[in-house]
Amino acid sequence: MIRSIYIHNGSCRQEINIEKINKIYNAAPSLLWVDITLEKGDLSTDEIALLTDTFKFHELSVEDCLFPLYNPKVEEFDNYLFVNTHGIRLKNMNMAEFDESMYELDIFLAQNLIVTAHTEELEFLETLMHKAMLKPQIELKNIETVLYKILSKVVSNLENTMEKISDKIDLIEDKVLEDPNPKLMEEILDLKKVLLSMRKIADPQKNVYSFFSRENNEYIKEIYSAYFRDITDQLNSLNKTINYNSQMISSLIAIYMSSITIKLNETMKFLSIIATIFLPVLIVASYYGMNVAFPEINLFGNTGTWFFAIFLILAATLAIILYMKNKKWF
């Protein structure tokens, strides 16, 4: 699916027909933004012709749109700039859907032309195009403005996702001391996996955004370099947050294991105390349970021997309890 928005002779219009987009480009509009959503991960013949024949983009750049690139990059060509970046479109914190919410956004930047290509529907691009139609004098002022708003939205979505992850870490931090359980450990490990994916997305993109913040960049006017420096600062702050949360996850795992160990030790301690308290019962019962003639029977008689055994059990049990109390074992 293809759509475009352009400014020509002072008016802002939309177009979805490829042949008309071709004519619009040849008419040299003051600004043309073409957005392509790859259907089933592929480009149509007309879309490839538009990119290679009309816009004169290199076939290797077009090929990069078809196959996922796991490392963001910026490539300079004679007549355009190719940018590959990644983002997150996660609406909730369902960790099972996190990998599916990651997307790749390819951007072609040329003179008065910007082309965005992606395999999934990206709502923020629809929103930006809608705002551009309402306020073209602001949203479509120049190529730098469009590029800044796109990249800024990508980073903002990453920041929003990281805020949700931070909130979830805070909730788990409260639970891990109260009730450590296997389900909680699964959540911690899921968060660890998510943070690893976030680091793979955010960290390599520093080179992409720093490229546009250079003051001697021929694609970005010097007056707009401050805007892209702001995005770079956002990304650096995001990477610091990711590193901090990664350390928090490692700490949560250590706290969880310590809590489980403490809980297990408490259980073992309780069972050991019970076993020790009942030890005299087992010894006396085992002794007097033997089928032999005991000297105590001649001394106390059958009934007296039974009371003597009970006395031994109670005295020994009381002595053990007092000893444990004295040692502050409970």
Q: Are 245 and 166 in contact (CB under 8 A)?
A: yes
Structure tokens at 77: 């060509």
Distance CA 101, CA 120 (A): 9
DSSP-based helix, strand, coil % in the chain, nearest 5: 65, 15, 20
Q: What is the pLDDT of residues 147-205, one digit of tens each?
A: 889 998 999 888 888 888 888 888 888 888 777 788 888 888 888 888 888 888 888 88
- Measured from the Cβ of residue 316, the count of other Cβ atoms closer than 10 Å reads 16
Q: What is the pLDDT of residues 270-297, one digit of tens each?
A: 888 888 888 888 888 888 777 777 777 7
Distance CA 54, CA 226 (A): 32
What is the dihedral angle through the alpha carbons of 81, 86, 88, 89, rounded to the nearest 10 degrees?
40
Distance CA 160, CA 142 (A): 27
Residue by residue, DSSP assigns 268-287 as HHHHHHHHHHTHHHHHHHHH
What angle do helix axes 279-288 and 225-277 make, rounded to 10 degrees? 30
The radius of gyration of the chain from alpha carbons, rounded to an integer in Å, stands at: 36
Q: How would residue 30 be classed by pLDDT, with cut points 50, 70 and 90?
A: confident
For residue 277, the number of C-alpha atoms closer than 13 Å in the C-beta half-sphere is 13
- Measured from the Cβ of residue 124, the count of other Cβ atoms closer than 10 Å reads 17
Count of helix runs (H) and strand runs (E) in the chain: 12, 7
Residue 152 φ then ψ, to 5°: -65, -40
Structure tokens at 70: 């796991």
Which residues are within 8 A (CB) of 223 and not within 5 positions of it... i.e. 6 or more apart? none
pLDDT reported for residue 226: 82
Residue 305 pLDDT > 60? yes
Taking Cα atoms as reference points, which of 141, 156, 145 lies closest to residue 109? 145
61-to-51, 72, 85, 125, 160 alpha-carbon distances in Å: 10, 13, 13, 21, 30
Q: What is the pLDDT of residues 246-259, one digit of tens each?
A: 888 888 888 888 88
Which residues are within 8 A (CB) of 1 and not within 5 positions of it... i.e. 6 or more apart? 16, 36, 37, 39
Q: What is the pLDDT of residues 53-80, one digit of tens each?
A: 888 899 888 888 888 777 888 888 888 8
pLDDT reported for residue 224: 80
Distance CA 158, CA 240 (A): 13
Residue 250 CA, chain-centre distance (Å), reads 15
Distance CA 154, CA 83 (A): 13
Q: How would residue 215 be classed by pLDDT, with cut points 50, 70 and 90?
A: low
100-to-90, 95, 104, 249 alpha-carbon distances in Å: 9, 10, 11, 22
Distance CA 152, CA 140 (A): 15
Instruction: Report how far apart the first and last C-alpha atoms of the chain are (Å, whole number).
Output: 72
